[in-house]
Amino acid sequence: MNVHAPGSPGATGDSGLTVRDLVVGYGPVAALRGVSLRVPRGAVVAVLGGNGAGKSTLLRAISGTLRFHRGGIASGDVTFDGERISGVEPSGVVARGVVQVPEGRRIFARMTVEENLRAGALGVRDRGANARARERVLGLFPILAERSRQRAGLMSGGEQQMLAIGRALMAAPRLLLLDEPTLGLAPIMAARIAETIQEINAQGTSVLLVEQNVATALALASHAYVLEVGEVALSGAARDLAGDDEVRRRYLGIGPDADGGASAPGTPDAPGTPDVPAERRTLTRWSA
């Protein structure tokens, strides 16, 4: 199956992110049971799955933050551009160009917007790179310039998500890990975040996007993996998954004989699928 994004013709087997046979546990609790995936350089790849499937665990394993959750990698490895990053300190993973926006945004609520952005750039020594990152972030999210002196915790959920993404971009990542960036947002704000993810990718940053919103994720990604209880149950080109009867029925809530709807993921301006009821667009639960 072709996992190379159309925009990355030069991608080799080693460029981008490679996760191999990852087994992860929290003490005796097995959360990932042999997960493998690829994010080719330049691509947007989606990881879908219901609650507890292991999506956040996967991102933590990549970013080196598992230990903060009392978890650990039992076997398998993660490489980025051919270099092993599993076992590397979180700050080292960031320095190698892989930055995570954690679930639930986790901005510093008592700090100002500006202080949050500066915190994202702490590891960046190069002033020029810093200025370019700031310019990029404020270009993507002008509201962050307008609110620079405001306490971050006073902003709306959508604005806080923008700040969380902006803070991550201050470290000038080559690969951005996004954990459910549209969760809990009003549809219009979720659509704005989705558009911004596309723009970030168009600017040259690869994205590994964890989502329960299947329609949004399949509209943005070139390739997707579905996690079920710690294993990859399904993977393929996003276009194929969005058009697959089984996926449409189980994950998008559309019958095999339904037409229209989510069949064409090439509508990035409107990532939500308007004719699917909102409550059926998420992967909250399903049976294997």
> Under the rule (CB under 6 A), what is the footprint of ligand ATP?
26, 29, 31, 49, 51-57, 69-70, 103, 212
Residue 284, amino acid: T
Residues 23-62: x where in contact with Mg ion by CB under 5 A, - otherwise, as a string: --------------------------------xx------
- The CB-based long-range contact list for 23-30 (8 Å cut-off, 24+ gap) reads 23/73, 23/74, 23/75, 23/76, 24/54, 24/57, 24/58, 24/61, 24/66, 24/71, 24/72, 24/73, 24/74, 24/230, 25/71, 25/72, 25/74, 26/57, 26/69, 26/70, 26/71, 27/70, 30/230
User: Residue 182 binds which entry of ligand ATP, Mg ion, none, with Cβ cut-offs from 5 to 8 Å by kind?
Assistant: none
Q: In this complex, which beta carbon is closest to ligand ATP, that of residue 222 or of residue 282?
A: 282
Number of H helices, E strands in the chain: 10, 10
Residue 236 interacting entry, from ligand ATP, Mg ion, none, C-beta within 5 to 8 Å by type? none
Query: From the CB of 47, what's the least distance to Mg ion, in Å?
Result: 10
Task: Return the residues of window 103-132 that contact Mg ion according to CB under 5 A.
Answer: 103
Q: Is 77 helix (H, G, I), strand (E, B) or coil?
A: strand
38 interacts with, out of Mg ion, ligand ATP, none, CB within 5 to 8 A per kind: none
- Which DSSP letter does residue 67 get? G
In the complex, what is the shortest distance from the CB of residue 26 to ligand ATP, in angstroms, rounded to a whole number? Answer: 3
Residue with smaller CB distance to Mg ion, 54 or 271: 54
Q: Which is nearer to ligand ATP, 53 or 162 (CB)?
A: 53
Q: How far is the CB of 212 from ligand ATP (least distance, A)?
A: 6
- Among the listed ranges 9-17, 97-105, 224-232, 240-248, the one in contact with Mg ion (CB under 5 A) is 97-105
The CB-nearest residue to Mg ion is 56
Other residues' Cβ atoms within 10 Å of the Cβ of residue 53: 23
Interaction partner, residue 43 (ligand ATP, Mg ion, none; CB < 5-8 Å by kind): none
Given the complex with Mg ion, which of 247 and 283 has the nearer CB atom? Answer: 283
Token pair recorded at residue 93: 């993973």
Decide which of Mg ion, ligand ATP, none touches 109; Cβ closer than 5 to 8 Å per partner kind: none
Backbone angles phi, psi at 96, to 5 degrees: -85, 0
Give the nearest distance from C-beta 159 to ligand ATP in angstroms.
22
* Phi, psi dihedral angles at 23 (to 5 degrees): -115, 120
Report helix, strand or coil for 128. Answer: helix
CB count in 10 Å sphere of residue 10: 9
Q: Taking CB within 5 to 8 Å according to partner kind, which of Mg ion, ligand ATP, none is near residue 26? A: ligand ATP
Q: Which is nearer to ligand ATP, 47 or 219 (CB)?
A: 47
**Alpha helix locations (H) across the chain?**
55-63, 90-95, 113-120, 127-140, 142-146, 157-169, 187-202, 214-220, 238-243, 245-250
CB of 92 to Mg ion, least distance (A): 23
| Minimal distance, residue 269 CB to ligand ATP, in Å | 27
Q: Can you say whether the dihedral through the CA atoms of 101, 103, 105, 109 is positive or negative?
A: negative
Q: Which parts of this chain interact with Mg ion (CB under 5 A)?
A: 55-56, 103
